[in-house]
Amino acid sequence: MSWLQSNLARRIIPCLDVRAGQVVKGVRFRDHQVVGEIETLAMRYRDQGADELVFYDITASPEQRSVDIGWIERVSQVIDIPFCVAGGIRDVAIADAVLNAGADKISLNSPALENPDLINQLASRFGNQCIVIGIDSIAEDADYQVRQYTGDPDKMRTARRTTLDWIQEVQQRGAGEIVLNCMDADGVRDGYDIEQLQQMRSICQVPLIASGGAGNRNHFAAVFQQADVDGALAASVFHHGELTIPNLKNWLTDQQIMVRNV
Amino acid sequence: MTQVVLIDSGGYNIGSVKAALRRLDVDAELTTAHHRIVAASHVILPGVGAAGPAMNKLKSHGLDRLIPNLQQPVLGICLGMQLMYAHSAEGDTECLGIFDGEIKQLQPKSAERVPHMGWNQLQWQQPHTLQQSLMEPAWMYFVHSFAAPVNGDTVACVKHGETFTALAQRANFLAAQFHPERSAKAGQALFEFFLKNN
């Protein structure tokens, strides 16, 4: 990492999966449990020094409905760090509403796979800095493949694209950031998928955020040092309170990893 | 009395700037009306988007002539800052000319990512009263692909590949490349500093 001529901090990003207006977490995308209220958790993570928050409406895409704007406005009023809204953003009008409600970024997953040109439309309208592409990736047939509609096990299906190809395509279309969720690692808290992230980093010129697998502080250090990602996203390890963000950041600082201490 | 207006340049971070001001008990009106802007105690030029469309919107309301002549404290944020320079390479756009220099696209020196997205630390180029109310290092939140050169107006810069201006000041004009409304306590300190001036 030291070759980067930048004082940009590596970002710690709690992800709040939202279902029916509450924050939930499941293992391998199944059996979701309620972990708390959206605004309560948003405030708590802001106070702890989270660098950014991602709210992922996991019910939105499979059920073909869009995100509720009300909670986005409420979150925007109470927190003073950036946040991204994912799930159900399937056209320019919804993107416009979500950004106007106060979201700093919007993240697209399944709708971008259904209609890749939507990425171009959104990037030219709003600027690529607020267009995030979320990718659910799984190891299959000696390759990494993209999965679609992962919010609902009954609707989940293969997107018939390799992760490598899709990452290259979304950058060409105007993605400003990529969140790579490595499904084999997700929810099992055995560490980020370093090998896959390294491979994708080598072809990713925009910020790359690692997702899936964080279980302890070593996993964060490893993903920054070995995969050179810009941010690390995690949910359960923070929601359950085993790892607090101040402790994590102090420890990462000791490991010579540049983070924002508050 | 503090009467803050936000100039409507068609950007998308208006809501979060308004919310940040409301947390300081300031209600800010979004406007393009000259008499409202001239009468305000403080003027903010926010903006997320591209330089060309934003300048076109300002010009269509005659604000390209009004803004450089304002006498009260004026704060430009992100694209709003960039519009205060002479020219932007983004869409080859002539801008307001309050600050000298050209806004250019960020060029990676090695593997730095563009857009420059996330928290970076201010490096002070000249003593400034704002420094006293900020922790060291002062971390601010950035999201942008174009940036201003370092010159005599630069108060603080940041490094991401090249080094560019993060905070500039000339007379009553203050300009931040970062988003104070999304920079937690450090960003709040910037708003407080701005609002204290009159």
Q: Are A225 and A1 in contact (CB under 8 A)?
A: yes
A127 vs B50, B111, B184: nearest CB: B50
Cβ neighbours, 10 Å, residue B139 = 27
Of the residues A136, A186, A193, A230, only one is catalytic, namely A136
The pLDDT confidence band at residue A63, using thresholds 50, 70 and 90, is: low
The pLDDT confidence band at residue A151, using thresholds 50, 70 and 90, is: low
- 3-class SS of residue A217: helix
Q: Above 60 in pLDDT, residue A60?
A: no
Which DSSP string do the residues of A58-97 spell out, in sequence order?
Answer: TTTTTTT-PPPSHHHHHHHHH--S-EEEESS--SHHHHHH
Q: Above 60 in pLDDT, residue A129?
A: yes
The answer regarding whether domain B4-90+100-196 maps to CATH 3.40.50.880 reads yes
Of the residues A17, A186, A193, A230, only one is catalytic, namely A17
Q: pLDDT tens digit string along A248-257?
A: 999 999 999 9
A81 vs B22, B115, B184: nearest CB: B184
The residue segments making up the domain with residue A166 are 11-254
Q: Above 60 in pLDDT, residue A28?
A: no
Mean pLDDT of chain B: 94
Mean pLDDT of A6-30: 81
- 3-class SS of residue B133: helix
Predicted confidence at residue A2, as pLDDT, reads 43
Predicted confidence at residue A177, as pLDDT, reads 97
The pLDDT confidence band at residue A1, using thresholds 50, 70 and 90, is: very low
Q: Above 70 in pLDDT, residue B102?
A: yes
Q: Which residues in chain B are contacts of A11 at CB distance < 8 A?
A: 118-119
Q: Is B179 known to be catalytic?
A: yes
| Most B CBs within 10 Å, among A92, A260, A261, A262, to test the B interface | A260
Q: Provide CB contacts within 8 A for B111, sequence distance 6+.
A: A3, A4, A228
Q: Is B136 known to be catalytic?
A: no
Mean pLDDT of chain A: 89
ipTM of the complex: 0.91
Q: Above 90 in pLDDT, residue B103?
A: yes
Task: Break chain B into its structural domains and give their ranges.
Answer: 4-90+100-196
Is A211 inside a domain boundary?
yes
Determine whether the interchain pair A5/B161 forms a contact, defined as Cβ–Cβ distance below 8 Å.
yes
Q: Above 70 in pLDDT, residue A91?
A: yes
Q: Are A79 and A59 in contact (CB under 8 A)?
A: no
Share of chain A above pLDDT 70, in %: 92
Predicted confidence at residue B111, as pLDDT, reads 83
What CATH number does the domain containing A36 carry? 3.20.20.70
Is A261 inside a domain boundary?
no
Is A226 inside a domain boundary?
yes
Q: Can you tell me the distance from the alpha carbon of B181 to that of A33, in angstroms, rounded to the nearest whole number?
A: 33
Predicted confidence at residue B83, as pLDDT, reads 97
Question: What is the least distance, in Å, from the CA of A118 to any CA of chain B?
Answer: 17
Fill in the amino acid letter for B30.
Answer: L
Is A141 inside a domain boundary?
yes
Stretch among A48-62, A101-115, B151-165 having the lowest mean pLDDT: A48-62
Distances, alpha carbon A50 to alpha carbons A53, A110, A262, B116, B182, in Å: 7, 27, 9, 18, 12
User: Total domain count for chain A?
Assistant: 1
A8 vs B15, B110, B118: nearest CB: B118
Radius of gyration of chain B (CA): 15
Tell me whether strands B29-31 and A231-234 are parallel, antiparallel or unpaired: unpaired
Determine whether the interchain pair A206/B22 forms a contact, defined as Cβ–Cβ distance below 8 Å.
no
Q: Which of B122 and A19 is assigned the larger pLDDT?
A: B122
Residue in the block written with tokens 């990037």 = A123
Reading the block at residue B57, the tokens are 């919107």
Mean pLDDT of A155-177: 92
Determine whether the interchain pair A8/B120 forms a contact, defined as Cβ–Cβ distance below 8 Å.
yes
Q: Is A203 on the interface with B (CB under 8 A)?
A: no
Q: Above 80 in pLDDT, residue B79?
A: yes
Mean pLDDT of A193-197: 97
Stretch among A25-39, A168-182, B125-139 having the lowest mean pLDDT: A25-39
Backbone phi and psi for residue A69, each to the nearest 5 degrees, phi listed first: -85, -25
- 3-class SS of residue B56: helix
Q: Which residues in chain A are contacts of B123 at CB distance < 8 A?
A: 7
Is A31 inside a domain boundary?
yes
The pLDDT confidence band at residue A126, using thresholds 50, 70 and 90, is: confident
Residue in the block written with tokens 């996993």 = A219
Q: Above 70 in pLDDT, residue A67?
A: no
User: Residue-wise over A243-260: b if at least 16 C-beta within 10 A, else e?
Assistant: bebeebbebbeeeebbbb
Q: Is B48 on the interface with A (CB under 8 A)?
A: yes
Of the residues B116, B144, B160, B179, only one is catalytic, namely B179
Q: Please choose, from the candidates A81, A248, A83, the residue with its C-alpha nearest in 3D space to the C-alpha of residue B141.
A: A81
Predicted confidence at residue A59, as pLDDT, reads 67
The pLDDT confidence band at residue B119, using thresholds 50, 70 and 90, is: very high
Which DSSP string do the residues of A89-152 spell out, in sequence order?
Answer: --SHHHHHHHHHTT-SEEEESHHHHH-THHHHHHHHHH-GGGEEEEEEEEEETTEEEEEE-TTS
Q: Are A92 and A122 in contact (CB under 8 A)?
A: yes
- 3-class SS of residue B74: strand
Determine whether the interchain pair A82/B141 forms a contact, defined as Cβ–Cβ distance below 8 Å.
yes
